[in-house]
Amino acid sequence: MDRTKKVKAEVDPILPVEPIYRWKVIGGSPFHGGNHRIYKPGEVFKATEAEVPMAFRDVIVKVDVASVQEQEKVIPGKVATYKLKERAKVEPENDKEEILYDIVNQKGKIINEAPLVKEAADSFIKDLTE
């Protein structure tokens, strides 16, 4: 029987990511951050809760409720969609019949101001959706 050797798995431990917030110096004096940086009055900087001591929280305030990580997270959402609806046929001087269109949203509401030729309507839909 082959002798087996126990091998310690080389996996990095998953450490919890500490939330980073945006902070603003609202006091009249600069704030000396833990990373040897000095933040001027009015300056906005990013730091964890632990990096801004409680004693300074009257002059250093959180800019946002949510952490930077939370804000940067892409969340699924509905993209507004539109389609074309024929409005009218026009006959210009060259006798070539032309159909004009409206852009309607999911509720059937007309989005454009004036009726459009197909190319213009398609272009607007692209502008609104891409």
Partner 1 sequence: MNWTVPRIWEGGDVWILGGGPSVTKQFDIPDEVVQAVKAGTSPLSVYSKYMKPIHNKHVIGINVVFLIGDWMDMVFFGDGGFFQRYKEQLAVWKGLKVCCHADVENQPWVKFIEKNRQHAKGISPRPDRVSWNGNSGAAAISVAANAGAKRIFLLGFDMALGADQYQHFHNVYNRGPIVREDQLAKLHFEIHLLGFPQIKEDAKKMGIEIINVSPTSEIQEFRKVSLKEII
64 binds partner 1 (CB under 8 A): yes
9: its two tokens: 């798995």
Q: How does DSSP classify residue 34?
A: T
Residue 67 Cα distances to 31, 80, 125, angstroms: 21, 28, 35
Among 20, 27, 48, 124, binds partner 1 (CB under 8 A): 124
Which one, 38 or 66, has the nearer CB to partner 1?
66
8: its two tokens: 């310690």
Length of the chain (residues):
130
Among 11, 75, 93, 96, binds partner 1 (CB under 8 A): 75
Site residues (CB under 8 A) for partner 1, limited to 94-123:
103, 105-107, 109-114, 123
Residue 82 Cα distances to 75, 85, 102, angstroms: 22, 10, 10
Which one, 99 or 106, has the nearer CB to partner 1?
106
| Least CB distance to partner 1 at residue 74 (A) | 6
Stretch that binds partner 1, among 2-10, 23-31, 51-59, 60-68 (CB under 8 A): 60-68
Among 3, 5, 6, 78, binds partner 1 (CB under 8 A): 78
**What is the b/e burial string over 108-123, where b = at least 16 CB atoms within 10 angstroms of the residue's CB?**
eeeebeebbeeeebee
Residues in contact with partner 1 by CB under 8 A are: 64-66, 70-72, 74-80, 103, 105-107, 109-114, 123-124, 127-128
